[in-house]
Amino acid sequence: MRSSIWIAVLLACAVSCGGTAAAASLEPVGTFSLPVYVTSDPLDPDRLLVGERQGRVIESGLAGTRQLLDFSTLVTCCESERGLGSIVPAPDFAASGRIYVAYTGTAAAGGAEGDVHIDSFRPGPEGGTIREPILSLDHALRPNHNGGQLQFGPDGHLYIALGDGGGAGDPDGNGQNTETLLGKIIRIDPLPGQTPSYAIPPGNPFASGPGRDEIWAFGLRNPWRFSFDRASGDMVIADVGQEKREEINLAPSAAAGTVAGAGANYGWSCREGLIAYPGAPSGCATAGFTDPVFDYPHDDPGGGAAHGCSIIGGYVVRDHSLDDLYGRYVYADYCQGEIRSLVLPSSASGRASGDRAEELPVANPTSFGEDSCGRVYVAACAGTVYRLEGASPATCPRPTAGNEEPSTAAPPTPSLHRPRVRLHAKRSGAWIKLTARVSPCSDRAGTMLQLNRGGRRLMSKPLDKDCLARFAVRSSGAATFRTLLPEIEIRSRRLAVGAAP
């Protein structure tokens, strides 16, 4: 991230936040010390795992909150961007208790202070912590651009995002250099407690020729957050820009259980977003780059368009309770502090569409997260972790009792107890345009939906094939509206619309 901005905002990180939106609300689930990542037990979505930047993992659930792991003596924090990057529980977490962690280390972790480490940690006897080193790389020279996202892909392999080594403009030329792991997404199979400590999966693009065997994709500046769409398997990479642009890259999965983007070159430091980087090194290629599907400027273009300083990548929403956020990719910017969403294209050569603000303010967001039920979270620098919730919170299945082996099936998506109606309004002069949606849809096309104004019936319209009904009401004054699905007596919340200016 741009060092001067990032350091300044970290030092000022003490602002509370919260908010609501038409499509979702932010519900606090806990307060932590510098939370930087949120995930959950793969078999129990109500057992949240929160990574704290100083080097701790906190377990928060129905039984309360407790410290699960403490390896803070190994973590150097918090100069510039140093500290814990992210965590991911092992697929056999229920049996092993093992969590993989990316962090910048002290000398006690081995190597120089600031080196990046990927380790396995698990609870030891009498409250201790057992460390099993997996991989480390030199990063002592500069304290920024560490990357640090960990995710198990739909293919079962561990993907790791690593920054370009820090400094402005990639001074060491790491982004385009496939002989270093800096500025890359790498893919490995961790082997904790063994020698060697990881294996190279078949199909890594540089394993049979020049370049490091571990590399999956390159040309990245600081991919602080990437994620996999739990429904499609698509990889989405949010890469923090230098001076002009922030970007989102897409590698659409071709089939279930596969990850795309092998060998993709995302352009840094020849390109920044969709533009040529002004400080690009000599000899940059003019073709062969995978362009981002979306980028936005640092300067405010006006009109409510995206802008900021450091993109915080999120997830494609697969929580059905979030209504019209379902299927959209949510993200934020650290400096702007608002959650936005967009629709990703179907191919890496396409462009995202429908970018919009969700009216969900979060001051200095540090990360999004997703639990094993598909619910989405956002962590704020000031300490609060929020869950995105719809009008009716998602219902997640309880974990199976006993000590069964973890299932390899995809975690279930949230379900709801009963249908619900959501109502949105937009004023355009003397006209108020209202859109109502019933979800889940369940063959309700053609069902009549009633619109009430001020507690009295105004008109009715049939739901279309997407279970939407649209109304237009002429009114210059303030008014309140509510929609009703008479056949099952389901009502929306009352919606107030202000007078025309």
What's the CATH code of the domain at 63?
Answer: 2.120.10.30
Which CATH number fits the domain that encloses residue 462?
Answer: 2.60.40.10
The answer as to whether 128 is a domain residue is yes
One DSSP character per residue, 312-371 reads E---B---GGGGGGTTPEEEEETTT-EEEEEEPPSSTTS--EEEEEEEEE-SSEEEEEE-
The answer as to whether 403 is a domain residue is no
Tell me what pLDDT residue 421 has. Answer: 83
Q: How far apart are CA 163 and CA 237, in angstroms?
A: 12
DSSP code of residue 180: S
Tell me what pLDDT residue 488 has. Answer: 61
**136 and 251 share one domain:** yes
Assess contact for 319 and 339: CB atoms under 8 A: no
Q: Which two tokens stand for residue 53?
A: 């930047």
469 SS3 class = strand
**178 and 264 share one domain:** yes
Q: How many structural domains comprise the chain?
A: 2
Write the CB contacts of 109 (distance below 8 Å, at least 6 apart in sequence). 74, 75, 103, 115, 117, 119, 136
Find where tokens 């293919």 sit: 155
Handedness of CA 444, 445, 447, 450 (dihedral sign): positive
Tell me what pLDDT residue 231 has. Answer: 95
Tell me what pLDDT residue 9 has. Answer: 41
Tell me what pLDDT residue 418 has. Answer: 54
- The pLDDT tens digits of the residues spanning 186-214 come to 999 999 999 999 999 999 999 998 999 99
**61 and 117 share one domain:** yes
**196 and 51 share one domain:** yes
Instruction: Judge residue 447's burial from the number of C-beta atoms within 10 Å of its C-beta, 0-12 exposed, 13-18 middle, 19 or more buried.
Output: middle
**373 and 443 share one domain:** no
Tell me what pLDDT residue 496 has. Answer: 84
The answer as to whether 170 is a domain residue is yes
- Comparing CA positions, the residue from 385, 431, 372, 39 lying closest to residue 230 is 372
Tell me what pLDDT residue 441 has. Answer: 76
Domain hosting 440: range is 420-497
What phi and psi values does residue 109 have, to the nearest 5 degrees? -80, -10
**245 and 302 share one domain:** yes
How far is the CA of 438 from the CAs of 6, 320, 386, 392, 486, in angstroms?
A: 42, 12, 25, 12, 12
The answer as to whether 230 is a domain residue is yes
Assess contact for 410 and 230: CB atoms under 8 A: yes
Tell me what pLDDT residue 126 has. Answer: 80
**380 and 235 share one domain:** yes
Q: How far apart are CA 91 and CA 115, in angstroms?
A: 26
Tell me what pLDDT residue 460 has. Answer: 87
The answer as to whether 460 is a domain residue is yes
Q: How far apart are CA 13 and CA 491, in angstroms?
A: 41
Instruction: Judge residue 333's burial from the number of C-beta atoms within 10 Å of its C-beta, 0-12 exposed, 13-18 middle, 19 or more buried.
Output: buried
Query: How large is the greatest C-alpha to C-alpha distance in the chain, in angstroms?
Result: 73
- Strands 44-52 and 35-41, bridge-based pairing: antiparallel
The answer as to whether 410 is a domain residue is no
Q: What angle do CA 164, 172, 308 make, to 5 degrees?
A: 45
Q: Look at phi and psi of residue 183 and say left if phi exceeds 0, alpha if psi is from -120 to 50, else beta.
A: left
Tell me what pLDDT residue 78 has. Answer: 96
- The pLDDT tens digits of the residues spanning 253-274 come to 999 999 999 999 999 999 999 9
The answer as to whether 414 is a domain residue is no
**256 and 377 share one domain:** yes
**296 and 431 share one domain:** no
**351 and 446 share one domain:** no
One DSSP character per residue, 91-143 reads TTHHHH--EEEEEEB-GGGSSSTT-EEEEEEEE-GGG-EEEEEEEEE---S-S
Q: How far apart are CA 215 and CA 302, in angstroms?
A: 39
Assess contact for 233 and 259: CB atoms under 8 A: yes
Q: Which of the residues in the chain have pLDDT under 50?
A: 1, 3-22, 401-417
- Comparing CA positions, the residue from 24, 10, 7 lying closest to residue 317 is 24
**426 and 385 share one domain:** no
- Among 370, 389, 408, the domain boundary falls at 389
The answer as to whether 399 is a domain residue is no
Q: How many CA atoms lie within 13 A of 122 on its CB side?
A: 15
Rg (CA), the chain: 23
**383 and 456 share one domain:** no
